[in-house]
Amino acid sequence: MAIFTISRQLGSLGDTVAEELARRLNAPLMDPSLVMTAASGYGLGSEQGTPPEMAERAPTLLQRLGEDRQRYGVLIRSVLYDFVAEHSDAVIVGLGGQAVFAPVRHVYRFLIVAPFEVRVERVIGDRQVDRKTATVSVHQSDRERAGYYHYMHHVDWLNPELYNVVVNSEGEQVESVVDLLLGVAERLDRAPTSESRQVLEDLALAARVEARLVTSHQVRVFMLAAQAAEGHVRVDGVVDSLATRAQVEHIVRETPGVQDCTFNVRARTLLPPSAGLG
């Protein structure tokens, strides 16, 4: 079993490396262009286009005013965990994979970078644009990805501590970078253990519960957190009424994989408009 997450700067060869890595492993690839389709299983439609969170961009204040950003974070995690659960080998490009799978020992997390000018030259060649346009594109991509990771995962995505290996692709070809990644994975030999599989199963179940709740049209959740351990799920949160709390319990108990539940979900009490007035 080999699960790889590839984080990459624009112009670092990262996307092409991920495609070649998936080809060599004969493994499926998940990237931002596919995550919306996968999320449709939770009833997320495409009428409004791809949300910024699923395209590795932080949304503007106006886009997220009055909307719970947790919803998309939960959906991305659930999609990624389900994707990995379905395949013995898999490659995940972007989407915060290095943060989402940080607790899972048997997932290899790689970051591919290159010097700024090298990346500009590659963008010029790949997109057939002039230097000014390429420079703006690289700067913009760097800003958007930094904003995305800070917004969704509260991390500095270029922090090397998030990765097993950081690769500088300057002067390298795609094939040589893939050779390097496969060689590193072989030497690290992070084969799944019963403990690491259980960690992944617990994370997946907790995310599945949260995803069902935040996409349900029957409940309104203000704050939510689910934890899972070998089929037992604990849910903490705030809802808008006692009736909603009962519905939350029903949804959780009906979630596949849930064997037992503990609830610390309270109803938010709203004072009537006349309360406190003489």
Give dist(CA 252, CA 249) in Å, integer.
5
Topology of domain 2-194, per CATH?
A: Rossmann fold (3.40.50)
Give dist(CA 14, CA 1) in Å, integer.
22
Task: State which of 43-47, 215-219, 238-242, 245-249 shows the largest mean pLDDT.
Answer: 245-249
What's the pLDDT at 66? 39
pLDDT at 277 over 50: no
Lowest mean pLDDT among 48-52, 111-115, 131-135, 160-164: 48-52
CB within 8 Å of 123: residues ≥ 6 apart: 10, 11, 129, 134, 137, 138
Contact 227, 256 (CB under 8 A): no
Residue 108's CB is within 10 A of a number of other CB atoms, namely: 21
| pLDDT band with cut points at 50, 70 and 90 for residue 55 | low
Q: What is the pLDDT of residues 131-142, one digit of tens each?
A: 999 999 999 999
| pLDDT band with cut points at 50, 70 and 90 for residue 156 | very high
Return the half-sphere exposure (C-beta side, CA atoms, 13 A cut-off) of residue 5. Answer: 25
What's the pLDDT at 37? 77
Q: What is the pLDDT of residues 63-109, one digit of tens each?
A: 443 345 667 788 889 999 989 988 889 999 999 999 999 999 999 99
* Nearest alpha carbon to residue 212 among 67, 189, 204: 204
Give dist(CA 200, CA 192) in Å, integer.
10
